[in-house]
A and B are shown apart, each in its own frame.
Chain A
Amino acid sequence: MYKIESKNVDFFYGPSQALKNINLAIKPNTVTALIGPSGCGKSTYLRLFNRMNDLIDNTKIAGQVIIDGDDIYAKGVNVDSLRKKVGMVFQKPNPFPKTIFENVAYGLRVNGITDKKFIEERVEETIKQVVLWDEVKDKLKKSAFELSGGQQQRLCIARALAIQPSIILMDEPTSALDPISTSKVEELIYELKTKYTIVIVTHNMQQAGRVSDTTAFFYMGELIEYDTTKTIFTNPKVERTQNYITGRFG
């Protein structure tokens, strides 16, 4: 049983096709890395899983994206509930202009939870989960903007975790961070794997190698190769994959 499947997926921004016939299946509790040169469609593909591309005018999708057995683009699908199940962490830390506490509580509140004690417990629990608690426990009522970039990004991960999704999408989550913050986030991803299915876009090959179980290589809107990370990095079947990876390493 796969957690996420995409079958013959095409995607269009207006007249221009950004994804061509993508077939891919992701097992639960794994980390999948999406790699490839800039503009090849990684973000576009990732954002299909929580229907974030719906926000862009004039877009069109063909094919099927199936999560937990259901086609998420079928008629009558509740997008808000889908997004509760599929959390997302963005490239740049983007906390709300609210307090640290309220940032993490936001997802709970918009989902109708009002029990104060429950919210407090869940907020504390998730902030601990992203190993941020010791750094912020004394300033939960301060603005989230007062945190460093790396702390903000971990806060954004906590914000996504608070509503307990089963899938987490990450679009270059460490590209705006320093090396120490980056390794903290990577450790976190490694731990989160036990509970969540994670799909991560990254330009950092070492990172893909460190955190992912499987890797998908995209090139100009096409999925060129998809295999275990080990195979992709040591023994890719397609030459273009090989070139890209060695190019990136070299």
Chain B
Amino acid sequence: MKTFYKKFSEKFIEGLLLLSSTITTLTVLLIVVFLFKEGLGVFNQKPVEEGFVIALNKQNPVNKLSSAQLKNIFDQNITNWIEVGGKKDSIILFRMEDITNYYSEEQIGEQYENLPQCISKVVDSLPNIIAFFSTKYLDKNFQGKQLDIDKISFKEFFSGKEWFPTAQPSAQLGVLPLILGTLWVSLGAILLALPLGLAAAIYMSEIANENVRKIMKPLIELLAGIPSVVYGFFGLVIIVPLIQKTFDLPVGETGLAGSIVLGIMALPTIITISEDAMRNTPRAMKEASLALGASKWQTIYKVVVPYSISGITAGAILGIGRAIGETMAVLMVTGNAAVIPHTILEPVRTIPATIAAELGEASNGGLHYKALFALGCILFIITLIINLTVEYISNRKKYNNR
């Protein structure tokens, strides 16, 4: 009886463990699949929102316009058809509300019952017109030609320099400024955090006595536990005004502010991991160096740092990893302008900040929503690469230590 219970409970626990690991694995897989399914969906969409039409006069030789061209036309940056491959004529813009310039309210009708015909006539009568209106008002015998609009292409998505996902008539989904913004801010963060973190790690592992270390280490680990909003708040209240004053800028919310805040956030990771690596340097190795008359500093940079270089690299990369994925603090201090930054003293916007800021206003399943998921995919791939790099480096370390 006893053995039966034992066997039964063993089997039961085994089953539970199997179940929970299966569930975890499946959940992770599901999330990834969902992310990519939604994200890749963006390439199945047209930049012009569903339910809207862009129409030209039948005589207009132009048959295709890119998303960027559309935006520039409606922003009046492009004012002549010749610039987009048509005849040399000025472009006439037509939005739905412009109908009142052509027809009186009576003619349109109280319930807009004549609006489709009116639009059709306007488009037909003006050879240089470009009209943007709802499909609801598309006349059955529409006299213009509807513009063929391409789906969003990979190339457009990754090389586009503008991110205006809600622009009318055509959304601009260039992720380049966001990717660059993310990389800039992270690079700046690591440039600030690496020397500082390395110095602190060297101090803690090689110089500080045991008592100082016993105080410092938990403090630094505590730094890792502070919620990121708090860092963001600190950045907003202290660093942003400081930057604004020091560099005499109109606004202090800049890439630099983001880099500083992220740098501080990456410090604990860098310090703890590289300090552990340095402390793992065999005592015998350090003693051998000192016994040869090397000074403490020579021993540190000729023996300790080279010996623990893979740990230090891993710490730095994990630090960057944290910086790249960080959302809240960055959102609060970088100014969030979706333009390609030229200096660190300009506002920038990162991928995670974009997702956090915009997901609320993106309609479920729409273009904007899918574009944000695509951003999520990009972020996922970046962090995956980072994790694989760390994996690779720490494996190499195992091999070297034998």
Residues 261-290 of B, flagged 1 when their CB comes within 8 A of A and 0 if not, give 000000000000000000000101111111
Asked if residues B209 and A87 are in contact (CB atoms below 8 Å), the reply is no
**B400 within 8 A of partner (CB):** yes
Q: In this assembly, does B26 line the interface, its C-beta being within 8 Å of a C-beta of chain A?
A: no
**One of A83, A97, A159 near B306 (C-beta < 8 A):** A97
Known contacts A57-B209, A110-B298; is A156 also within 8 Å of B293 by CB?
Answer: no
Cα(A94)–Cα(B210), bound, Å: 25
Chain B residues 279-322 with CB under 8 Å of chain A are: 282, 284-295, 298, 302-303, 306-307
Tell me the nearest residue of chain B to A80, going by C-beta: B293
Nearest Cβ on chain A to B279's Cβ, whole angstroms:
14
Q: How far is the CA of A66 from the CA of B285 in the complex (A)?
A: 27
Q: A80-B294, A110-B294, A110-B302 are in contact. Are A96 and B402 (CB under 8 A)?
A: no
State the CA gap A22–B372 with chains docked (Å): 77
Contact between A94 and B284 (Cβ–Cβ < 8 Å)?
A: yes
Chain B nearest CB from A13 CB (Å) reads 14
CB-based contact B284/A163 at 8 Å: no
Q: Give Cα A169 to B298, complex, Å.
A: 22
Considering the complex, which residues of chain A in the window 36-64 have a beta carbon less than 8 Å from any beta carbon of chain B? 50, 52, 55, 57
Partner among B293, B298, B302 whose Cβ is within 8 Å of the Cβ of A84: B293
Task: Judge whether A83 and B282 touch: CB under 8 Å.
Answer: no
Alpha-carbon distance between A109 and B303 when the two chains are bound, in angstroms: 13
Task: For the complex formed, measure the closest distance between the CB of B298 and the CB atoms of chain A, giving whole angstroms.
Answer: 5
Residues of B within 8 A of A97 (CB): 285, 306-307, 400
B290 & A55 in contact (Cβ 8 Å cutoff): yes
- Give Cα distance in the complex from A55 to B207, angstroms: 11
Query: Are B287 and A90 closer than 8 Å at their CB atoms?
Result: yes
Q: In the complex, what residues of A have CB within 8 A of residue B282's CB?
A: 94
A87 touches B302 (CB 8 A): no
Q: Which residue of A lies closest to B306 (CB)?
A: A97
- The contact of A80 among B284, B286, B295, B402, by CB within 8 Å, is B295
Residue of B nearest to A97 (CB): B307
Q: Does A92 contact B (CB under 8 A)?
A: yes
Say yes or no for A194: interface residue by CB 8 A criterion.
no
B209 contact set on A, CB distance < 8 A = 57
**A127 in the interface, Cβ–Cβ < 8 Å?**
no
Top 4 closest pairs, chain A to chain B, by CB: A84-B293, A107-B292, A94-B284, A110-B294
A: residues with CB less than 8 A from B are 50, 52, 55, 57, 80-81, 83-84, 87-88, 90, 92, 94-98, 106-107, 109-111, 145, 156, 159-160, 163
Known A-B contacts: A159-B288, A163-B292. Give 7 more (CB < 8 A). Answer: A55-B286, A80-B295, A83-B292, A94-B285, A107-B293, A110-B293, A145-B402
